[in-house]
Amino acid sequence: MIDETLFRRKHQLWLRLAFISFAVNNPWIKKRLYEFSLIEFRHLKWLAQTMLENDSNYNYDRDPTFNIEAETLFDLLHTAINEIKVVHMFYNGSALSERMRNDENYMLQSFEGYLTNLSIDEKLSAFDRSRIWPDALLSHEENDALTLFLFEESYKEYELIMVYFYSQIRAETAVQALYFQDLIDESHFHLRSFGEMMAKMGILSLPRMLHPRTYIIEDMKHFLTNGIAEEENAKEECRKLSSSITDEKLSTFFDFINYQESYHIEIMKKLLKEKHG
């Protein structure tokens, strides 16, 4: 039970640090927070591997009260500090616990250092629901299309990260694990890109929780075949959004994402061949 609770809290801590990084404007703090979030994701993977080796169960549930909204940077940092201190109560004397504790002690030191510099606190607009793209004047229809796309795609990328993560630690070969890592890394980039865009529009929010049926894959061939079809659909959504938005920078960005989705399909085809010939 302690392992399950620790896994849930580490999952939440990864999400908190990632979404704080999307929300803040200070470029140095944004970069540092995102780097810390990737460390937390690595912890999560190591923890899942250890639990799998020990026949311990885990899932991707989150506490019903878990949220990441706040009015200021310092509010977010105080919450993160408190959350890390609670997580530490669940660590034991293992080498993994010592690694995680030491990493987070440095994070705590960094956050507490930020809090001593009152000049870097900022009022956040990431959660104000303004729903306005600040970098270009979009029509009402363009704004609606962008809003819907960002909500749908940020959830999709979170889902893909967690599905690939679940499959990666159960991979049968090093090649399979490598392919899953490529897909995870790509989805991290997309989630970050969409999250930062949502923050600019004041609509940053956590993706909804995943049901176990989403990520517990019993038929990998079926999953990969469906995944290729879903990537084709994602490409079409990017293409439609790119063609419907008149702002050149936004349109070019979605073309860029579209081309990346094309190679995701190739990676999934390689996985399909690796697993099923």
Report the topology of domain 1-124: Ferritin (1.20.1260)
Q: Which residue has the tokens 């729903």?
A: 131
The more confident residue out of 102 and 275 is: 102
What stretch(es) of the chain map to CATH 1.20.1260.10? 1-124, 126-277
Is the CB of residue 20 less than 8 Å from the CB of residue 76? yes
Cross-strand bridge partners of residue 72: 123
Instruction: State pLDDT tens for residues 13-32.
Output: 999 999 999 999 999 999 99
pLDDT (0 to 100) of residue 276: 62
Domain 126-277 classification at class level: mainly alpha
Q: How much of the chain is in helix, strand and coil states, percent to nearest 5?
A: 75, 0, 25
Instruction: State pLDDT tens for residues 31-50.
Output: 999 999 999 999 999 999 99
Q: Which of 184, 272, 259, 195 is nearest to 227 (CA)?
A: 272
* Dist. CA 30–CA 35, nearest whole Å: 9
Q: Which residue has the tokens 């889902």?
A: 159
pLDDT band for position 214 (cuts 50, 70, 90): confident
Cross-strand bridge partners of residue 123: 72
Has residue 109 got a pLDDT over 90? yes
- State both tokens at 34: 């995102």
Q: Among positive and negative, which fits the CA dihedral 173, 174, 179, 180?
A: positive
Quick one: DSSP state of residue 60? -
pLDDT (0 to 100) of residue 277: 57
Neighbours of 52 (CB within 10 A): 14
* Dist. CA 221–CA 174, nearest whole Å: 18
The more confident residue out of 85 and 277 is: 85
pLDDT (0 to 100) of residue 275: 66
pTM for this structure? Answer: 0.94
* Dist. CA 228–CA 219, nearest whole Å: 15
Average pLDDT, rounded, for the chain:
91
Has residue 114 got a pLDDT over 70? yes
Instruction: State pLDDT tens for residues 253-263.
Output: 888 888 888 88
